[in-house]
Amino acid sequence: AAAMSCSAAAVARPGRGGASEAPRVYAMARRHGLPLSACLTVLLTELVPFAHDVPGLPPSLELRRQAVAIAGELSSPWLGLFTDLLIRGDTSGAESVLEAGLLRVRHPLQRIALLSQRAASARSRGLPAIADARWAAIAAAAERDGRPAVLVAYRAFRAQISGEPLNERELEDRVALLARAPAGVRAGHAFTIATFHTARGDFARAIPHFDRALAIADSFADRGIGVDYRLNKGRALSRMGLMADAERILREGLHLSAGTNLTYTRAELWHNLSHTHEGTGAMALAVAASDSFVALASLLDREPIRIISRRDAGLLRLNLGWHAAAHAQFDAMVRLIDAERQNHHWAGEY
């Protein structure tokens, strides 16, 4: 029964219906007497927007508390509850959630996620000394553990959560350490180095690392990872002005992802392809790619790229002098913003 309920929930993941499908899946599980398994509960919390109740589901906070009760060995339910409380203004409650999570989460990689958020939270509350001490403790624990994935996870979480720059030499030193690590870890590490360079605008230095990440990902036939890496490499090539190379790698990603449920990534591939064509002056191709971006993004409930796709389509048409068509796209954007109650600055810009 638990497997059945989780399979049903998988249908409702972003790209296959999104938050609008969550109440249907929840009602089906209850109607058939299926237990709210750990898998189902965690998936449902991923579909529910933070600090926002969805009709047909228990209140957002109640659902997230069920998730930590049922799947408390994972970091994601605790981080979800932390974020929900933080958005609601309950800072002390959010902090206590992280402390409670650390009492239950035992796996090193899962603990690093909670410990990293705890350190970043101290800095956001104006406690830099405490934040530094917490980061130092995480680093020491990762070094004591010594396993490649743990060491890399610490650096990745620190960069992702705190926004602090990665140390390039340290990242490069990990390459030798990762020589015997699983392929997925090695691919992820190469990708991390590539994004380290792209974040600093050094796209040329990023490309060899994207190539290494892609070679490893393709060797163990993980289509989803390969598609995501192609998206990021294509974006970097486009920023370098290598439009033909960018188009080729982005189209590779679209070909590999055909027939999959990688809706978000496919939408972003069309998004970047539209900008690439626009950069070469191929405006008919840019409009066609933009339309594909809009069509796929429209399938993603409450994802900001739904709004972005309409904004981009409007700007593209505005620059072509197609004012009525531009207004239609901008008006659709504003309707989404009003319905989803987010990203109002783009409505103001219009």
Which 8-state DSSP code applies to residue 261?
A: S
Here the tokens at position 198 are: 């792209």
pLDDT at 78: 93
26-80, pLDDT tens digit by residue?
A: 565 555 554 555 566 666 667 676 767 767 667 788 888 988 888 888 888 899 8
232-251, pLDDT tens digit by residue?
A: 999 999 999 999 999 999 99
285-338, pLDDT tens digit by residue?
A: 999 999 999 999 999 877 889 999 999 999 999 999 999 999 999 999 999 999
pLDDT at 23: 58
**How many C-beta neighbours within 10 Å does residue 280 have?**
15
Average pLDDT score over residue span 242-269: 94
Classify burial at 250, counting beta carbons within 10 Å of its beta carbon; exposed 0-12, middle 13-18, buried 19 or more.
buried
Question: Could you give the residue ranges of the DSSP H alpha helices within the chain?
Answer: 2-11, 22-31, 38-47, 60-70, 75-87, 91-104, 108-124, 128-145, 148-157, 168-177, 183-198, 203-219, 223-239, 243-257, 263-280, 283-297, 304-319, 323-340, 344-349
Say which residues have a Cβ less than 8 Å from residue 275's Cβ, sequence separation at least 6: 238, 286, 312
pLDDT at 44: 67
One-letter identity of residue 317: R
- Which of 283, 296, 301 lies closest to 253 in space, CA to CA? 296
Here the tokens at position 84 are: 């929900």
Report the distance separating Cα 278 and Cα 295, nearest Å. 19
Say which residues have a Cβ less than 8 Å from residue 231's Cβ, sequence separation at least 6: 250, 253, 265, 268, 269, 272
